[in-house]
A and B are shown apart, each in its own frame.
Chain A
Amino acid sequence: MEKFVQLEKVDVTFPTKKGAFHALHNINLNIAQGQFFTLIGHSGCGKSTLLNVVAGLQDASSGMALCAGREIKGPGPERGVVFQNHSLLPWLTCHDNIYLAVERVFGRQESKARLKQRTVDALALVGLAHAAHKRPHEISGGMKQRVGIARALAMEPKILLMDEPFGALDALTRAHLQDELMKIVAATQSTVIMVTHDVDEAVLLSDRIVMMTNGPAATIGEILTVDLPQPRDRLELANNAHYHHLRARVLEFLYQRQMRPAA
C-alpha cells in the first residue's frame, strides 16, 4: 500500500526556560491511505505533539515528515484538524465558522451558493442543521465538538487529524459521535489519525493502535493491528473474544509496561 503519511526518525525538542525538553524521540510511522490510526498513551507523553507534527503546527527538530510524498512545512488544506478543545471562533455562528474554512479551500473555483451548500451539508452530516445560526457559547460541548468535526470534514481533507475529539464528552454523547464518525469515515474513505485516552474507543475505531511510551523522549512502544471486521458494532463486540483480547493487549501495555509515572 502507498505510504500517505511517512515519519522517519522524527525527534521534537522544545526550548524551555530550564533548557531543551526532549518530547519525542525516534518516531517512525507509515500510514496508508484509508487507514484509521489512533495514538494512545499516558497524559503528557506527546500525543498532541506528534499529531501537530503531521498537522504542520509543530516542526520536527530532526528527522523527516512527509505527507503525500511531500515534506510537511506548515499546515495544508489536505490535512483537516479537529482540535482538542474544538477551537471554534466564539464571535462567528456555527455556519460562519465552517464557511470560513470552506471559503478558503473552495472559494476560488466555486460560486457562493455552492460554498453555502457545502457548509449546510457539513452541518447536516453531524446532525446540526438546526444549530447553524447559533454561536458556540449557545450550544453544548458535544455540539461544539461536532461543529469542529464538520469544519474539518467540510474542507474535504485527504487526512483527518483529531486530538481527543470526544475527550470532554459524556459517555452517551461520545458513543453516539463515535458511531457517526465510523459512518462518515466509511462513506468518505478518509485517512484518520486520532489521539485518544480511551482504550475502548481505540479498539472500536482503529485499524492500528499506536501505543506510546511515557515521556520525556517518548517513542512508539508498539503498534497493534486491530483485525476486527468492518463495519463494527459496539454491542456485538461486547461478546467478541478477539475484541477483548485486543483490548487486554492495550491495557497491558499501558498499565504494566508503561506504568503511569508517579506524578
Chain B
Amino acid sequence: MSAIYGTLQHSPTAEENSAPTVLQPTQPEPSVTKPAFNAREKLGAVLRVLIPPLLGIAAFLGIWALIAQETSNLPGPYKTWISAQALFAHPFYNNGPNDQGIGWNILYSLYRVGLGFGIAALVGIPLGFMIGRFKFLAAMTAPIISLLRPVSPLAWLPIGLLVFHRAEPASIWVIFISSIWPMVLNTAVGVRQIPQDYLNVARVLNLSEWKIFSRILFPAVVPHVLTGVRLSIGIAWLVIVAAEMLTGGVGIGFWVWDEWNNLNVAHIIIAIFVVGIVGLLLEQILVLIAKRFSYE
C-alpha cells in the first residue's frame, strides 16, 4: 500500500531549491576590503554561470546545422529562424477554422489543458486528502489507482470519444485522466507524512476537524500538493499535443499535424520549440507559486 504512494514521494523543498542553487555563484560575498576586484569577480561569476549553457546551446545548434546539411529536407537553424520570424509576425490572424495564427493554436491548447487539468485538480486534490487521512479509503482505492495510473494517456481517447461523441470533450477527458494521478498520490503522501508532533498539537489543543484541516493539514501539505500539480501540468501539456493530433480542431498538436501534411518541416520544428518553451513557462510559474507557499 504505502509502496504505491511511496513511489511518487518528492521532496518539494529540494526541487524548489534547484533553481536558486544554480544562480548562487552570481552573488559572491561582497568583499569590502578589495573593491577593485569586486566588479571583476562579479563579471567572472556571471560568465561562469552563463558559459556552460551557452556552450550547450551552441553545440546543439551546430549538430542540428550539420545534420540539416546532410539531409535534404530538414531545415537548419537559420532557415527555421527566418520561418519563425514570418510566423510570429502575425500570430493572431484568423482565416477560418482550419487556418489560424500560431497564437490562437497555442491559446486553444492552453485552454484545453487548463480545463482538463483544472477539473483534475478539483477532483484529485480533495481525493488525495481523503486517501491520506483515511486508511480505509486508501486501501479501497489502491488497487484501482495502481491499475489505472500506468495506462498510456491516449488509450483513454476512444473511451472519451465513445462517451462524449465529440472530439473537444474527449481531449479534455484525456488530459483529466492522465494528469489526475500525480496530484492524488502526492497529496496523499503529503498528508501521511505530516509529522506526528503537529498532530499531537492538534490533539492537545483539541482542535475541530475544520481547524485541523485549515491550520495543520492544509499548510503542511501544500508543498506536496504543488509538487503534484507541477508533475500533472507537465503531463497535461505533454499529452495535449498527441491528443490534438488525433482529434483535430484548433490547437498546437493539430497544427503540427497540419504542417506535416503541408510538408512544412520548419513549422514543425518551430512547434517543437513552442511546446517546449510553453511547458517550461508553466513549470516556472508553478515553481514561483511553490516558493510563495514554502514557510521555511
- Residues of A at under 8 Å CB distance from B? 55-57, 74-77, 79-81, 83, 85, 87, 89-92, 100-101, 104, 135, 137, 155
Contact = CB atoms under 8 A, between A and B. Distances in A.
B295 A100 contact: no
Given A89-B216, A89-B219, A104-B211, A57 B200 contact: yes
A123 B215 CA distance: 20
A80 B215 CA distance: 19
B215 A100 contact: yes
Contacts of B220: 91
Query: At the interface, is chain B mostly helix, strand, loop or mixed?
Result: helix
A101 B207 CA distance: 8
A75 to B, nearest CB: 5
Contact of B295 (A56, A77, A90, A155): A90
A233 to B, nearest CB: 33
Contacts of B71: none
B203 A75 contact: yes
Given A75-B206, A101-B205, A104-B211, A83 B219 contact: no
A76 B203 CA distance: 8
A81 B295 contact: no
A83 B198 CA distance: 11
Nearest to B222: A91
Contacts of B207: 100, 104
A87 B215 contact: no
The 3 closest A-B pairs by CB, nearest first: A91-B219, A91-B295, A87-B197
Given A76-B206, A81-B204, A83-B201, 11 more contacts: A55-B204, A56-B203, A79-B204, A80-B204, A81-B200, A89-B198, A89-B216, A92-B215, A100-B211, A104-B208, A155-B205
A57 B206 CA distance: 11
A79 B206 CA distance: 11
A75 B204 contact: yes
B296 interface: yes
Contacts of A155: 205
Instruction: Pick the most buried of B203, B206, B215, B219: most chain A CB atoms within 10 A of its CB.
Output: B206
Contacts of B295: 90-91, 135, 137
Nearest to B200: A57
A74 B203 contact: yes
Interface string B182-226: 000000000000000110110111111001000110011000000
Contacts of B211: 100, 104
A53 to B, nearest CB: 14
Nearest to A52: B200
A90 B203 contact: no
A77 B205 CA distance: 7
Given A87-B198, A89-B215, A90-B295, A57 B203 contact: yes
A155 to B, nearest CB: 8
Contacts of B198: 87, 89
B296 A90 contact: yes
Contacts of A90: 295-296
Contacts of B219: 89, 91
Nearest to A161: B204
20 contacts: A57-B203, A75-B204, A76-B206, A77-B206, A80-B204, A81-B204, A83-B197, A83-B200, A83-B201, A85-B197, A87-B198, A87-B201, A89-B216, A90-B295, A92-B215, A100-B205, A101-B205, A104-B211, A135-B295, A137-B296
Contacts of B204: 55, 57, 75, 79-81
Contacts of A137: 295-296
A215 B206 CA distance: 31
Most buried by B among A55, A85, A90, A91: A91
A211 to B, nearest CB: 26
A137 B296 CA distance: 7
A152 to B, nearest CB: 9
B199 to A, nearest CB: 10
